[in-house]
Chain A
Amino acid sequence: GQNIDQPTEMTATEGAIVQINCTYQTSGFNGLFWYQQHAGEAPTFLSYNVLDGLEEKGRFSSFLSRSKGYSYLLLKELQMKDSASYLCAVRDPRDSWGKLQFGAGTQVVVTP
């Protein structure tokens, strides 16, 4: 299976930048996803990385290093609405149907 680690909580100020790290241990790799989840709501898709490098989408960027088993999600120009849990998920390489295994999530608290 997958072992996916990410910090439990991070706090940052409105307008600042926060970087959420995710490390995974697996015998293979078939893609990494980041989801955002507000309290009591369903997760929503943010980004997908399958090759090394940085993917940028507006204020959010995601980076992947397959050799290091490492990814990060970068949130720039933080807004209060960015307060949420951010979930790192890895696709099981043994599974042709594409099931995702999720980390426990990182709770980001944005303060004024």
Chain B
Amino acid sequence: SQTIHQWPATLVQPVGSPLSLECTVEGTSNPNLYWYRQAAGRGLQLLFYSVGIGQISSEVPQNLSASRPQDRQFILSSKKLLLSDSGFYLCAWSGLREKLFFGSGTQLSVL
């Protein structure tokens, strides 16, 4: 069966520090991969999605970047965090035109 792992679960970082969140998927090949962000009390905002290794699409201009170095690995990064980067970050995967399966999420607090 397919599983998705996301870490860390919580993170507290100072403004201006770098960020790296990692997500891996097991039990499937060539998944579509997604990074969403959820601000407190708000809906999910799609940040990045990827349909293959090295193929990244950005939905909104921002202080973050994403990379997909391997088929089942998706990384969210920032060189310098801003206060506005705080939120609940969710990695997800899907097959082609199928439902999303989410990782357990990372609660990021930028102070």
Contacts and interface: CB of A to CB of B under 8 A. Distances in A.
Interface of A: 30-31, 33, 40-45, 48, 87, 89, 91, 96-105
Question: Main SS of the interface on chain B?
Answer: strand
User: Interface size for chain B: under 10, 10 to 19, 20 to 34, or 35 or more residues?
Assistant: 20 to 34
B6 to A, nearest CB: 8
18 contacts: A30-B97, A33-B99, A40-B107, A42-B90, A42-B102, A42-B104, A43-B100, A45-B99, A45-B100, A87-B43, A91-B97, A98-B32, A98-B97, A98-B98, A102-B43, A102-B44, A104-B43, A105-B43
A89 B97 CA distance: 13
Given A41-B105, A42-B90, A42-B105, A100 B97 contact: no
Nearest to A105: B43
Interface secondary structure of A, over-half rule: loop
Nearest to B34: A99
Given A42-B105, A100-B100, A105-B42, 9 more contacts: A33-B99, A33-B100, A43-B44, A87-B43, A97-B49, A98-B32, A99-B49, A103-B43, A104-B43
Interface of B: 32, 34, 36, 42-44, 46, 49, 51, 88, 90, 94, 96-105, 107
